[in-house]
Amino acid sequence: MEPIFPLLRLPENVIIEVIKNLAVDPLFDFSLISTKTKNIVASLGIEASDVRIIICRVVVVTVAGRYFSMDRTFYYDSVDRDALIHLDSNQLISAYSRGIYDRRTVRSSTPLFSFNNWLDHIKTVFCYNKPPNVVFSAGSRQFEMESLKNVIKSVNELVVNGYNTEFRNRELLEHFKNVNKLTLGRNLFEEACEVQKYFIQNFKSIRFCDDVSLDDMLLVNSERVDFSCTISQKQFNQFLKHWIRGSNPRLQNMNLSTNLHDGKVYLKGIRCIEMSEELKKEIRQKHGIFDIDMVKIRRKEGTTAVIATVDYGPLLFVRFYVLY
């Protein structure tokens, strides 16, 4: 039997020098040994940019940072795959991590953690102070609604994919309505206009993954909006004319794609203002983009906006930035 190195008997500064060279998975396992090891790992200041709960037929918690990612799976060992699962903030459950060839159980200092214990531990170790982002995907109907409400108190970003019944989608959107960011998938409701009541709410950002009409665009009351489905250049042109007249007063940033029209954005009837190379460079640096073509427009009360475009072959990707 190989000798065991007494790492935890060393001074704390020496322990830190050793563990900061560990990959994220063994580092997380180390944090589970005791309260002391949890605090040591947290002292490294490794910050997660995203902690996401994905609810499908299992529950997956993903953690992502600038140079790392990690995931842990829960409720994988449910006996009856068709029975309702009740999330319980006090129920002790196992966590699993996925290996290349198999799945392994992750051990904690106690025999088991509850789901909330696991989540709190992850957020502490990776210095994440915001509410988690939550994704409801295919299979999430297996988790009973009231227990979801009790366990997941607050959400930063909510993603509702079009894999549930319309009633379930309404339930999710009604309960988790106090979110900063909202992503709506395809085919959420039988009536397309039903989604408009979410457009008019003042989220920080909204992402819509289905076909969008001009009326939909004009109703958006969020600071940022992302449209996944391609719109026509004519529709975008119409939107810009409405914006110039005063629509969408809270809008700061919009991303969309449109059909290609001679490699340029269609701006018929809109007065465009040429931009200096210095201002273009500033916009690129501020937003971390590489778009080549840019033009500025002004609405009637004086607010200006930049339209930045990049040619992606059959599509033209368009970014709209309001300048303050």
Do 26 and 146 fall into the same domain?
no
Closest CA to 187 of 205, 160, 147: 160
Query: Do residues 53 and 164 both lie within one domain?
Result: yes
Are 317 and 260 within 8 A, CB to CB? no
Of the residues 124, 152, 179, the one at which a domain ends: 179
| Residue-level pLDDT, tens digit, the chain, 324 residues | 455 667 777 788 888 888 888 999 999 999 998 899 999 999 999 999 999 999 988 899 999 999 999 999 988 765 455 678 888 778 888 888 865 444 555 554 454 688 999 999 999 999 999 999 999 988 888 888 888 888 898 999 999 987 888 888 999 999 898 899 999 998 888 887 889 999 999 999 999 999 999 999 999 999 999 999 999 999 999 999 999 999 999 999 999 999 876 656 778 889 998 888 898 898 888 888 887 788 999 999 999 999 998 888 788 899 999 997
Give the domain-ending residue among 155, 179, 203. 179
Same domain for 35 and 87, yes or no, is no
**Identity at 108, one-letter amino acid code:** S
Give how far the C-alpha of residue 286 lies from the chain's centroid of Cα atoms, to the nearest Å.
Answer: 21
Which tokens is 45 given? 């200041």
**75 domain-assigned:** yes
**Whether residues 83 and 161 fall in one domain:** yes
Query: Does 31 share its domain with 121?
Result: no
Task: Look up the domain containing 94 and give its range.
Answer: 47-179
* Number of structural domains found in the chain: 2
| Residue listed under structure tokens 């196992």 | 94
DSSP string spanning 37-81? Answer: HHHHHHHT---EEEEEEEESSSEEEEEEESS-EEEEEESTT-S-T
324 token code pair: 């303050």
**At 258, phi and psi to the nearest 5?**
-140, 165
